[in-house]
A = this chain, B = another copy of it.
Amino acid sequence: MMKLGKKDILGIRDMSIAEINLILETAESFLEISTREIKKVPTLRGKSVINLFYEASTRTRTSFEIAGKRLSADTINISASTSSVVKGETLIDTARNLEAMNPDIIVIRHSAAGAPHLLASLLRQSIINAGDGAHEHPSQALLDMMTIKEKKGKIAGLKVALIGDILHSRVARSNIYGLTKMGAQVVVAGPATMMPRDINQMGVRAYTKLEDAIADADVVMMLRIQLERQKQNIFPSLREYAQHYCLNRTNIKLAKPDAIVMHPGPMNRGVEISPDIADDPGCSVILDQVNNGVAVRMALFYLLSGGNE
């Protein structure tokens, strides 16, 4: 069996197709553990995972914590609000200190793009990027690809539309890297103020109208609108945003009849997605994404620990 030739999981951009496939296949094999009566295997007993979160999070931190515990790893949570961050220590010093306590894996979320890469270059431990600024969020893209593959049987050849604030979204960026790499046709739509300037160099087609992007799409991935951006005058009002970019019963008809709808959460219902679409078991796979997230993170822990050596 193949072995993951990486110390760290920093982004999808620097991941090969073979590596993505290895992770997805490993994750698929782990899915079953979470359905058992005894949801625990001893694989990572005696290993410790530190969740170092400089930004608030429920789902991602919990997902990593549950993934660790299902593999019998010890999990230690550090959140910025209660840490020596408030005492002005540098990120590097905090990381070096954690390294000296000999954990095996450090999962980091940080508002600064590149923070996980800095740690990865300095520390001997495996680093997993759980979101760095507007840069990458690789475990999210992996669980998204796993969900697409699960529902559609493949990724290559599908048309995937990403809608919303492409510019500030690490989820969008990681998915664009991954999906284009895996052979999907990726299109994006969003207000001009939320579109990266180099979007055309990323191998995707960009539109300003949602309708143009989702036409004939196999997958529609809605992005969370970050409400705090409104103060920066990037968009005039939630109502106006929703008027143009909310996925609803009407515009979803433009996508393929069997299109699936995804969202990384947390959702702003009525803003980027209408409640009836979010809750429609016929198209929404949002909770499958969450379920697959635990399996993907188990796979990352397992592979980074040299699991299949």
Contact = CB atoms under 8 A, between A and B. Distances in A.
Interface string A62-95: 1101100110001010110111111111100110
A247 to B, nearest CB: 16
A209 to B, nearest CB: 26
Chain A contact-residue range equals 35 or more
A306 to B, nearest CB: 10
B84 A59 contact: yes
B101 A78 contact: no
A291 B101 CA distance: 5
Contact of A100 (B70, B74, B291): B291
Contact of A82 (B56, B65, B90): B56
A156 to B, nearest CB: 27
A208 B56 CA distance: 44
A63 B94 CA distance: 13
B57 A46 contact: no
Contact of A62 (B63, B70, B101, B293): B101
Contact of A291 (B85, B102, B287): B102
A149 interface: no
Contacts of A83: 56-58
Contacts of A203: none
A302 to B, nearest CB: 15
Contact of A88 (B45, B87, B104, B227): B227
A56 B86 contact: yes
A40 interface: yes
Interface stretch (A113-121, A177-185, A210-218, A263-271): A263-271
Interface in A102-127: 102-104
A58 B46 contact: no
A259 to B, nearest CB: 21
Contacts of A293: 101
Contacts of A97: 58-59, 265, 287, 290
Contacts of A265: 84, 89, 93, 97
A28 interface: no
Contact of A37 (B46, B87, B96, B290): B46
A26 interface: no
A86 B89 CA distance: 26
Contacts of A93: 265-267, 269
A66 B101 contact: yes
Interface of A: 34-40, 45-48, 50, 53, 56-59, 62-63, 65-66, 69-70, 74, 76, 78-79, 81-90, 93-94, 96-104, 227, 265-269, 287-288, 290-291, 293-294
A-B pairs, top 10 by smallest CB distance, nearest first, are A38-B46, A89-B266, A100-B290, A40-B46, A58-B83, A58-B84, A69-B74, A100-B287, A34-B102, A100-B291
